[in-house]
Every structure is written in structure tokens, then in C-alpha cells.
Amino acid sequence: MTNDRRLVYSTESGQLDKAMSSKKQGRKKTAQKPTPAITNPAKQGIRIRRESKGRGGKTVSVIDGLPLDDTNLKILMKKLKAALGTGGAVKSGSLEIQGEHRDKLLLLLEKEGYKAKLSGG
């Protein structure tokens, strides 16, 4: 009997098949490149879009691309919510405001000194 079988699992070192197959195929795990920092915030686009997927049919206006830190985002969010009389939240660097308020948000952001654009249909 020939010894053409290879060890796939060992209780001492765990699963070996994946480690051996990745070495044979030459696969390497590549690290994802970090996103570049905003160099000139004046040239970055602030977008206002409408989302309703995954929200049970509720519509949310989302503002992306604001060159602000978390504390200033919260301050701006408070001003926008008070002006619109609605709720909202700051999530992962974007502002989510309940309801379809894209046109009003565009005017309010321009009043605050931000140049924004409407995104989507």
C-alpha cells in the first residue's frame, strides 16, 4: 500500500487542509487599503439621499460627506432636527433624518455654509 494520503486534521494542531491548500495555490491574504483622508473638504461632495430599504417602508434622508467630527455632527444634527421638527441619528459619520426632507435639508445646509447636492432620484 502506498502512502499517497495526506493528513487533513489532527487533534494536536487542528485543521490542516485549508493551510495546505492555500500554500499550494499561492493564495495570500491581502490587507485592505485604508481610505484616503479628506485633503480638501471644500472639494468633497456633501450628498443628501433618500433611503427606505431595510427600514420597514419608512423613509429616511441621509446626509453623507460632511467634513466634521462626531461632536460637531451631533451639534449640526440637533439644529437640523429642531428646524424640521423630526427625529434622527448620527450613524457612522452620516446624518439620518426621519422622513423625506431632502429639499429642506439642502436649504438648511446652505444656510449653515455647506455646499450640498441631492443624490438619487
CATH number at residue 50: 3.30.780.10
What's the confidence (pLDDT) of residue 41? 47
pLDDT digits over 15-28, tens only? 655 555 545 555 55
Total number of domains constituting the chain: 1
- Amino acid letter, 44: Q
Does this model's pTM top 0.75?
Answer: no
What's the confidence (pLDDT) of residue 34? 53
* Residue 94 counted as domain residue: yes
* Residue 3 counted as domain residue: no
* Residue 24 counted as domain residue: no
Cα–Cα distance measured from residue 119 to residue 121, given in angstroms and rounded to the nearest whole number: 7
How many C-beta neighbours within 10 Å does residue 47 have? 16
* Residue 81 counted as domain residue: yes
Residues of the chain predicted below pLDDT 70? 1-3, 7-10, 12-44, 121
* Residue 35 counted as domain residue: no
Q: What would the grid cell of residue 68 be?
A: 466634521
- Asked if residue 49 lies in contact with residue 64, where contact means CB atoms within 8 angstroms, the answer is yes
